[in-house]
Amino acid sequence: MRPRARVRLTAALLASTALLVAPLPAASTASATPAGLHDDLNGDGHRDLVVGAPDATVGGVQQAGAVVVLYGSASGLSAARRTVIHQNSPGIPGVAEAGDRFGTAMATGDLDGDGHTDLVVGSDSEAIGTREGVGSVTVVWGSANGLGAGTALPQPAWREGSAFGQNLAVGDFTEDGALDLTVAGNDGPYHYTGPFARSGEPARRYLDNRLGTTRNVISGDLDGDGRADRVMLPGPLDGDPNGTVYVDRFVDGRLVRTELPGADGEVGSIGDVDGDGYGDLVLGASNDPRDGGTGRLGGQISVWYGGPDGPDPTQRPLIVDQDTPGVPGVSEPADSFGSSVAVGDVDGDGRADVAVGAILEDLSGKSGAGMVTVLYGSADGLSTDRAVSLHQDTAGVPGGAEAYDYFGRSVRLADLTGDGRAELSVGIPGEDSSQGYLQVFRGTSSGVSTSGVFALTAANAGLSGQAWFGSALLP
């Protein structure tokens, strides 16, 4: 196995290529976003897919970064129905600069309450003046004509290396009817309380000084009240490379923060796995015990079941790794099983299923080829009975497994066609010498299908350079 490391390309590896051409308006005129579709960016009643390419070359500038919006429809995705956005796009603040990494993370929601979905984009390496790696967050506002002009969110004078914007979460965390935004960064999480003005100014903004470095944040309903709760993932700590986990809920108008002392998590997602009306928290912890943590060999996921007060900290979570009976493969050092996690209903049975990436899985002697495992929900919780694995040597999957493709670097489960079954989107950023690749698998009543896979290369998405296309997907 390849030793576990942060997979990141250096600017010296990137080739200079042509300017990205990126018209911002969607292909059709947008109406108000239908209720419940927080990720319908053109108002056509279908959920959309946003793919990050943070190392894309823009106007000859390497690692400037871009995002690609692919619009859902009853017939699925099409490369022709897309919008490419970067910091040289008309109306987007800033300018494409080397190493900004626009598209590190994305989130969506109607931040200004005008009935149209907005797109939030993080650039975790944006330089501010002479301070490198400060980071920034841009809101691209939705309108009746689709995505339009953008605004940079106000932020404090972060120090160099703050990596502000490395992850994002949108939800009505304060339960006042307006959407809020939390931004992860090395100086701690920064909270924006909605509603937002088009200037980018929220009703309130503040640094959460109760937590230090927070590398990830998750939004979802864990207590069944119909409003979003927030999960804070500080990430690796000394002696605990899988970090701690905190759940934020508003109770009687005040924030209640609960630590899950037995939880490990670098990434995660929320969905109702057992169909009881409460969202369940699925966490991925890809670090090996040899890294100093308490995880399983090769990585693991854990399921913390929700309830009227959110997940009970005293519960014994379900732990799944590649040595769990029914799970394909075997636990090996540095597989990074749990390096990405997504939750959604693939088979339309009313219970959420789980996709798990193992970014450094070796296949046929090819190091870091990567693999995704799909586990299905049931009335008894997450089950391994029908578990399947997908990779580029699986019959029907386009391409072939190659070293350091990183199949499964990002995963998403969302119904893009409106048929009641979630499609599985898989980012493969190492494909084609790190240009990147996207594959989308149909959901069917019998589970994920390898028939009619939608595949899109970075070049066909309109991107240039070693773009790292697919390294991030909209949650």
pLDDT at 8 over 90: no
**pLDDT tens column, 212-266:** 999 999 999 999 999 999 999 998 877 777 789 999 999 988 999 999 998 999 9
Helix (H) or strand (E) holding 205: strand 204-207
By CB atoms closer than 10 A (0-12, 13-18, 19+), residue 177 is: exposed
**pLDDT tens column, 444-475:** 999 999 999 999 999 999 999 999 999 999 99
Distances (CA, A) of 20 to 66, 89, 314, 372: 9, 9, 51, 31
Give the closest residue to 283 by CA, choosing from 218, 333, 345: 218
pLDDT at 289 over 90: no
What is the pLDDT at residue 293? 63
Q: Which residue has the higher pLDDT, 2 or 115?
A: 115
pLDDT at 13 over 60: no
pLDDT at 11 over 70: no
pLDDT band at 291 (very low <50, low <70, confident <90, very high): low
Mean pLDDT of the chain: 91
Q: In which residue are the tokens 């193992």 written?
A: 358
Percent of the chain with pLDDT over 70: 91
Q: What is the pTM of this model?
A: 0.92
**What residues are paired with 185 via a beta bridge?**
214
What is the pLDDT at residue 290? 66
Distances (CA, A) of 131 to 58, 116, 128, 165, 251: 22, 35, 5, 15, 39
What is the pLDDT at residue 7? 35
**pLDDT tens column, 357-366:** 999 999 999 9
What is the pLDDT at residue 439? 98
What is the pLDDT at residue 201? 97
Q: How distant is the alpha carbon of residue 249 from its chain centre?
A: 21
Tokens of 207: 């640094």
pLDDT at 348 over 50: yes
pLDDT at 315 over 60: yes
Pairing of strands 246-251, 383-390: unpaired
Mean pLDDT within 305-310:
96
d(CA 450, CA 441) in angstroms, rounded, equals 6
- The least confident of 3-7, 352-356, 397-401 is 3-7
**What residues are paired with 168 via a beta bridge?**
183
Q: Where are the beta strands (DSSP E) in 208-345?
A: 216-220, 229-233, 246-251, 254-259, 267-271, 280-285, 300-304, 318-320, 337-344
CB 270 within 8 A of CB 219: yes
Cα of first residue to Cα of last residue in the chain, in angstroms, is 29
**pLDDT tens column, 164-186:** 999 999 999 999 999 999 999 99
Mean pLDDT within 6-19:
31
By CB atoms closer than 10 A (0-12, 13-18, 19+), residue 324 is: middle
